[in-house]
Amino acid sequence: MSDTGIVISRRAVLAGSGALIFSFSSVAQSPAQENAAPLAAAAPPLPGSLKQSPFLDSWIRIDADGAITVFTGKAELGQGIKTALLQVAAEQMDADFAQLKIVTADTARTANEGYTAGSHSMQDSGTAITHAAAQVRTLLVAQAAQRSGLPADQLKTDNGAVVAPDGRRFGYGDLVAVEILHVQASPQSMLKDPVQYKFLNRRIPRVDIPAKVTGGEAFVQDFRPDGMVHGRIVRPPSYGAVLDSVDTTAVKKMPGVLKVVRDGSFLAVIAEREFQAIEAMRALAAVARWHESAKLPDMAALPAFLAGLPARDIKVIDQQQPAAVNAKMISATYSRPYVSHGSIGPSCAVAQLQDDALTVWTHTQGVFPDRDAIAEMMRMPKDKVRCIHSQGSGCYGHNGADDAAGDAALLARALPGKPVRVQWTREQEHAWEPYGPAMLVKVSAALDDSGKIADWDYAVWSNTHSMRPGPAGALIAARYLAEPFPEPEPKPIPMPEGGGDRNSNPIYKFPSMKVIHHFLPTMPVRVSALRSLGAYMNIFSIESFMDELAAAAGADPVEFRLKHLDDPRAREVVSTAAGRFGWSAKPRAGSPGHGYGFAFARYKNLAAYCAIACEVEVNHETGRARMVRAVAAVDSGQVVNPDGIANQIEGAILQSMSWTLYENVSFDDRRITSVDWATYPILRFSAVPDSMEVHIINRPGTPFLGSGEAGQGPAAAAVANAIANATGYRFRDLPLSSERIKAAIGV
Amino acid sequence: MRGFVRSLVFLCVLLILGAAVYAILAVQPALDPIAPPQASSFDPALVKRGAELAAVGSCGVCHTAPSGRQFAGGLALPTPFGTIYSTNITPDAATGIGNWSQAAFQRALRRGVRRDGAYLYPAFPYDHFTLVSGDDVKAIYAFLMTREPVRATAPTNQLPFPLNIRLVMYGWNLLYLKPGPYRPDPAQDEAWNRGAYLAEGLGHCGACHTPRNILGAEKTSEKFSGGEAEGWSAYAINASSPAPVPWTADTLLQYLSRGFNADHGVARGPMLDVASNLGAAPSDDLHAIAAYVAAQIGDAAAPTPQVAKQAKAQSARGSAVAAASADSQADTSYNRGTNADNDEGALIYAATCSGCHQGPRAAPFGGIDFALSSNINGPSARNLANVVLNGLPATENKHSPIMPGFANAMDDNQVAALARYLRAHFTDKPPWTDIEKSISDARMNVRAPAANAAPANGAASTGTQQGTTNEAQR
Amino acid sequence: MKLNVNNAQHDVDADPRTPLLYVLRGDLKLNAAKFGCGLGQCGACTVLVNGEPVFSCVTPIALLAGKEITTLEGLGTEEHPAPIQQAFIEAQAAQCGYCIPGMMMRAQALLQRNLHAGDADIRAWLEPNLCRCGSHMRILRAVHRAQHILTTAQKGDAG
């Protein structure tokens, strides 16, 4: 096959025969633009993940029987991405939805799209599939043109076939021949006109839910290859503990035990049946002798601790003007403790070492980086290690999934040929997952005579928000082996994505601004990425402070924000939420025990816009706060599945409410002490609001804006602002527990 | 015949006269209503003191219904005589105590009489609150009158005739009410008297912890010998205390203020609500109460060597909470073979309970070692039945132990076998005689969800814990 | 020992102390009941025993001789979903979906004993079950939807 000839001719096909071409407004992080620039000139980068994986058949494959497989390097986390991407593909290909299947993150089969994180899936994968699918459709039409002898512009596509004016149908399966999809994407695509959409902005039911509600195999926890055996890990009691001794004689003799694995301070047991493994784990834990050395900070004094750590200063914004005269200065300090992912299903993985090739089924957010880390840890070549994403329970970032995969790999090596399943316990998940870091914010602002913000000075202290694999040392197991891998150096994530400084740059327009990120490399407590990263705390702080400033200026909180917002989409989201809530009709001061709060942010100032108005009730006698009603407005660009977006925003509001009102990881001077739901209580049904609405503003034809994390920050601030409205007290230290509230409001 | 009729007439006249005299003596005057006082008219320091005293008295526990507003009443209190509903003590003029003067409030506490002159039932323990000093009454009044007024009327009490005639309480009071306020015992020191004043008065410990006679009055000669409340057995808190590790003032203090003590277990049932309230009471007051009750218990015998050994082992569990090496349960495979095949209760214990109850997790989150349990050593199987069937539900926003209930997993025979085993294996006491009844009573208290929703405001410290416990854990 | 699961008798060769959850998942290869905590704190493992909800993670099979165990698989299938399953699909009441089988079994027990439970009662009833994704509003909508499906069917039968 002459690649060159075929490529040129297909490129010519894709380069545009005068059909519809859309230009997306360019977005810095997700260039999704196409124009009629000739190929000879410096080609604009390919849109989305096509940049890294330009071949069309990395994304779309069509079988001779017409079945279509969509490939994505992203993973289904419960956010509905499988369904959304199928909708995108079906739309641009004019395919029959029922014929579509999707294959997700697999190092052997899909593109490397890094992590399913940062609300990037639609922007990266969705954009790539949009264009790939559109270009596949163009190629199929060209094939049909060749076959039928008709010009391409007389042919239409419909429901999985190219249709000629005389009604002849050429099924896609019939048109596919000889690798016609094995061609690199063109920067240009013939995209559908949004007015013709059949699948986008539709509430297509999620393809994964039926199995989940009928006991189908849906999670990695359900995977049962033949001959599978069960592993359990015995973790150290605290960070850095060393396994001095363990007498394994009795455990080895327990029923069903196949192997006790010890490598340095890594200790585990494998048994035939699951309960046998559990009992052996308990027995093994009882005889293990550890030497502990961890020194954890004083939980009660975290903000001071953070402020005292060595820091690397990162200037996020440096546009300070001299302060105006007559400026009213307000300042505030906000803090949050460590917060846990708290995945409902503790991490799990299955691994099998067969003929020196290792396969790991894992719910990691990044199969490629996790594969790299495991390969390094096992000292195996990368191409001998395959990581296949298999869904776990909601992870909300970097939880124990990657580590469990590493654990499973080590146990698979201990029993070559046998699939070994490793299931973490609840306590292990709570104690060993990497938390969202504790953070500190200090902010001060000046109000001018007209009640507008004249100067803004903001500083945030935080650890890194990503200690993901890559390096082997990111895996717990690798750090406790007899020849350990060192924990990698923490690095800040550069803006505009950011880590601790994510969303520290307010979207509001101030004439004078300074934002500094004090990056703290010292991490006594294990930390990494938790849904929205630094945005939760920064938006909580900024939006709480905006309310404090509004109060000082005697202004309504919504009006005050609009005064400083010029982005029209932002303004519309704010107005929609306020309008739908009935903000202007609400009592200003709140009725006894009831308060109203508002908050807004654009996630990363790049992704979805979200505004939330809420009503909170506070029980005066107990200090207990509960959200009664919430109304959210969100702008996600082109809507793919409105129900999916609503689901994510509802979930974000409730999860964020739980973080904000209840949660903090607890520890003594050596060990994590919040190890289960008794010691890390989260939201239960008794605190769920009476009602919640999500209003979605669709922007047809515009780039997808990631929405999975857009609700976390605004929800926190809306709740805090409502509590301030209800009680007259401003709470700045998270969580806003009933004890704190009661202590402030007194009798 | 004529003589007979004459005697009969004479008897009737006597009865009528007697009833008239009774009524004349019994009827209490209404006290004039007042306009609800402004909240700002009360000294904040007084209000604060009133809040502390209300915490000692646990007013909110009875006067708040599971899904109701604070102090607005409506809680159903089952008594041997029928169901009585707590009243609205918010300062609402129409349905609460908003138009009660301080004198009216004091009369209610001292003599069990409402503002309008009607008698209250001693489900409201005025036979204890009568001891409260005038100053403290003033403070509590200030506290209640500054709460948020709520319009709410309690359901009608379900009492049979003649108990539904409130005037009968005059007779009861004559027999059983010793009006206060508290008179210090000159033979005791100030600290003791302080403790007695609080425990016997606002604390009303005896209301649950003292057995009652057929007329529902406390048997003063058996003070603190144990009683029952809302389906729970309240243990003896005198020399008959069944605790294998004797209570001291220190351990009692910890239990009352935090709701648990490592050597005794966790508070549950109505005591959970009491401990939640006492957590807000001033530390001095709690010290005094703990010391007084410890003095009632007296110097009990030291624990048996076996109990001491178990107590030591339990204290050694996972330094405050479990190390997160593995999980919170013990490997119980060693239990296999020890009578497991012969004794159903032993197998049930080994398979179901021992993992947590002999596990590596310290109090209050790990299960208590039964060798240390008052529950197993107490005279009645009722508490065990309650806990086994209903467990301990999660408390919103608080670190608190969670235990699953086994009402649906176990049938009555299994619970009974387990109870017999625990009693025989962990104590040297004679077998319980009320196991079957305890189990069936405990099950009957599991009401349908419609009748007993869990608190909408989530606060486990309001309302009868038993009710919400049952529902949450079924 | 013999276990009655979803109306079928199973001969299970497991230590009687084994919690039901591991027998369901390991021996009977049933997926719905999930491991969430092993402590009876989260409800992901909820199944029905004689129609009432239990935490299968803390219920040893030794307790279950002669009792009827029902799992989500016993209620219906993708092809023939039970009302509760149909309702949860219609309401799209899931994000990750891990907690959902436990929620559904718990709700099923409520609907079996009181088809007309009000919203407050449903919330109280579901309290022992945790959802970390925040799907609570949808779960409530789904239970109401199931009530509607069942009461409409009832009326249909009666009418």
Closest chain C CA to residue B452 = C121
| Inter-CA distances, A7 with A14, A40, A71, B47, B423, Å | 10, 15, 22, 85, 84
Neighbours of chain A (3+ CB pairs under 8 A): B, C
pLDDT at residue B318 in the model: 66
Closest CA of chain B from C81, distance in Å:
26
**Average per-residue pLDDT for chain C:** 96
CB A731 within 8 A of CB A740: yes
Is the overall model pTM greater than 0.90, yes or no?
yes
Residue A332, both tokens? 């505030």
- Tell me the pairing of strands A453-462 and A513-519: parallel
C111-129 mean pLDDT: 96
DSSP run (H or E) holding B275:
helix B270-278
Which residue among C38, C54, C59 sits closest to B327, beta carbon to beta carbon? C38
Phi-psi label, residue A114: left if phi above 0, alpha if psi -120 to 50, beta otherwise = left
What would the 3-class secondary structure string for A207-253 be?
Answer: CCHHHHCCCCCCCHHHCCCCCCEEEEEECCCCCCCEEEEECCHHHHC
Long-range contacts of A582-585 (CB under 8 A, 24+ apart): A583/A558, A583/A613, A584/A556
Of A281 and B366, the structure prediction assigns the larger pLDDT to A281
Neighbours of chain C (3+ CB pairs under 8 A): A, B
Furthest-apart CA atoms within chain A: distance in Å = 86
Task: Encode pLDDT of B305-359 as tens digits.
Answer: 888 888 888 888 865 444 678 999 988 775 554 544 568 999 999 999 999 998 8
In the predicted structure, residue B473 carries a pLDDT above the cut 50: no
* Inter-chain residue contact A281 with B330, CB threshold 8 Å: no
Structural domain spans, chain C: 2-74, 83-158
**B246 closest CA partner among B307, B327, B324:** B307
Distance CA(B90)–CA(A62), nearest Å, equals 72
pLDDT at residue A300 in the model: 95
* DSSP label of B369: P
pLDDT at residue A43 in the model: 60
Task: Encode pLDDT of A651-673 as tens digits.
Answer: 999 999 999 999 999 999 999 99
C83-158 CATH pick, 1.10.3720.10, 1.10.150.120, 3.40.190.10, 3.60.21.10:
1.10.150.120
**Residue C140 in contact with partner chain A when CB distance is under 8 A:** yes
CB A734 within 8 A of CB B130: no
CB B438 within 8 A of CB B410: no
Distance CA(A470)–CA(A695), nearest Å, equals 39
DSSP run (H or E) holding A713:
helix A712-727
Domains C2-74 and C83-158 agree in fold: no
In chain C, which residues have their Cβ closer than 8 Å to the Cβ of A647?
Answer: 92, 95, 135, 138
* Inter-chain residue contact C40 with B404, CB threshold 8 Å: yes
Q: B251 pLDDT band (50/70/90 cuts)? A: very high
Of B34 and B473, the structure prediction assigns the larger pLDDT to B34
Task: Encode pLDDT of C25-77 as tens digits.
Answer: 999 999 999 999 999 999 999 999 999 999 999 999 999 999 999 999 999 99
* Inter-chain residue contact A683 with C136, CB threshold 8 Å: yes
* Inter-chain residue contact C52 with B474, CB threshold 8 Å: yes
pLDDT at residue B55 in the model: 95
Distance CA(A263)–CA(A484), nearest Å, equals 10
pLDDT at residue A33 in the model: 28
Closest chain B CA to residue A233 = B326
Distance CA(A222)–CA(B269), nearest Å, equals 39
Helices B2-26 and B168-176: crossing angle in degrees, nearest 10, is 70
Task: Encode pLDDT of A120-145 as tens digits.
Answer: 999 899 999 999 999 999 999 999 99
Residue B373, both tokens? 């349990």
Task: Encode pLDDT of B1-51 as tens digits.
Answer: 778 889 999 999 999 998 898 888 889 999 999 999 999 999 999 999 999
In the predicted structure, residue B462 carries a pLDDT above the cut 70: no
* Inter-chain residue contact B472 with C128, CB threshold 8 Å: yes
* Inter-chain residue contact C53 with B408, CB threshold 8 Å: yes
CB contacts < 8 A, A to C, total 180
* Inter-chain residue contact A214 with C15, CB threshold 8 Å: no
**C78 closest CA partner among C13, C31, C143:** C31
* Inter-chain residue contact B414 with C40, CB threshold 8 Å: no
pLDDT at residue A324 in the model: 65
Distance CA(B451)–CA(B455), nearest Å, equals 12
* Inter-chain residue contact B402 with C50, CB threshold 8 Å: no
Which domains does chain A possess? 3-205 (3.30.365.10), 220-293+341-432 (3.30.365.10), 439-465+500-745 (3.30.365.10)
A148-155 mean pLDDT: 91
CB A678 within 8 A of CB B394: yes
Range 45-74 of C in CB contact (< 8 A) with A:
71-73
* Inter-chain residue contact A206 with C29, CB threshold 8 Å: no
Distance CA(B353)–CA(C73), nearest Å, equals 29
Which residue among A427, A622, A678 sits closest to B459, beta carbon to beta carbon? A622
Which domains does chain B possess? 22-176 (no CATH), 190-297 (1.10.760), 315-473 (1.10.760)
CB contacts < 8 A, A to B, total 133
CA angle A344, A350, A356 (to 5 degrees): 155
In the predicted structure, residue A590 carries a pLDDT above the cut 70: no
* Inter-chain residue contact C94 with A78, CB threshold 8 Å: yes
Q: Which of C27, C29, C71, C98 to mutate to test the interface with A (most CBs of A within 10 A)?
A: C98
Structure ipTM? 0.97
* Inter-chain residue contact A678 with B456, CB threshold 8 Å: no
Distance CA(B208)–CA(B237), nearest Å, equals 11
In chain A, which residues have their Cβ closer than 8 Å to the Cβ of B360?
Answer: 285-286
Three-state secondary structure call for residue A427: helix
In chain C, which residues have their Cβ closer than 8 Å to the Cβ of A652?
Answer: 134
Closest chain C CA to residue B470 = C125
Distance CA(A438)–CA(A525), nearest Å, equals 9
CA angle A668, A673, A679 (to 5 degrees): 135
- Tell me the pairing of strands A169-171 and A100-103: unpaired
Number of Cβ atoms within 10 Å of the Cβ of B221? 8
* Inter-chain residue contact A222 with C123, CB threshold 8 Å: no
Return the percentage of chain A with pLDDT > 90, whole number.
87
In the predicted structure, residue A484 carries a pLDDT above the cut 90: yes
> Cis ω on the peptide bond leading into residue B364 (within 30° of 0)?
yes
* Inter-chain residue contact A661 with B397, CB threshold 8 Å: yes
Closest chain B CA to residue C130 = B394
In chain A, which residues have their Cβ closer than 8 Å to the Cβ of C95?
Answer: 78-80, 394, 647-648, 651
pLDDT at residue A89 in the model: 95
In chain C, which residues have their Cβ closer than 8 Å to the Cβ of B350?
Answer: 17
Distance CA(B159)–CA(B165), nearest Å, equals 9
In the predicted structure, residue B404 carries a pLDDT above the cut 90: yes
Exposed, middle or buried: residue A96 (CB in 10 Å: 0-12, 13-18, 19+)?
middle
Distance CA(A253)–CA(A280), nearest Å, equals 9
Long-range contacts of B188-194 (CB under 8 A, 24+ apart): B191/B288, B191/B291, B192/B291, B192/B292, B192/B295, B194/B285, B194/B288, B194/B292
Q: Which residues of A266-294 are buried (b: 16+ CB within 10 A; e: fewer)?
A: bbbbbbebbbbbbbbbbbbbbebebeeeb
A209-231 mean pLDDT: 97
Distance CA(A692)–CA(C137), nearest Å, equals 8
- Tell me the pairing of strands A691-697 and A625-635: parallel
pLDDT at residue B11 in the model: 92
**Residue A346 in contact with partner chain C when CB distance is under 8 A:** yes
* Inter-chain residue contact A213 with C26, CB threshold 8 Å: no
**Residue C124 in contact with partner chain B when CB distance is under 8 A:** yes
Distance CA(B347)–CA(B329), nearest Å, equals 17
- Tell me the pairing of strands B260-261 and B265-266: antiparallel
Q: Which of B273, B321, B356, B457 to mutate to test the interface with A (most CBs of A within 10 A)?
A: B321
In chain A, which residues have their Cβ closer than 8 Å to the Cβ of B259?
Answer: none
* Inter-chain residue contact B472 with C114, CB threshold 8 Å: no
- Architecture of domain C2-74 in CATH? Roll (3.10)
In chain A, which residues have their Cβ closer than 8 Å to the Cβ of B48?
Answer: 746-747
- Tell me the pairing of strands A242-246 and A691-697: unpaired
> Cis ω on the peptide bond leading into residue B162 (within 30° of 0)?
yes
> What residues have CB less than 8 Å from C14, skipping those under 6 apart?
A273, A275, C1, C22, C23, C26, C27, C61
Distance CA(A731)–CA(A743), nearest Å, equals 11
pLDDT at residue B319 in the model: 52
**Average per-residue pLDDT for chain A:** 92
**Residue A658 in contact with partner chain C when CB distance is under 8 A:** yes
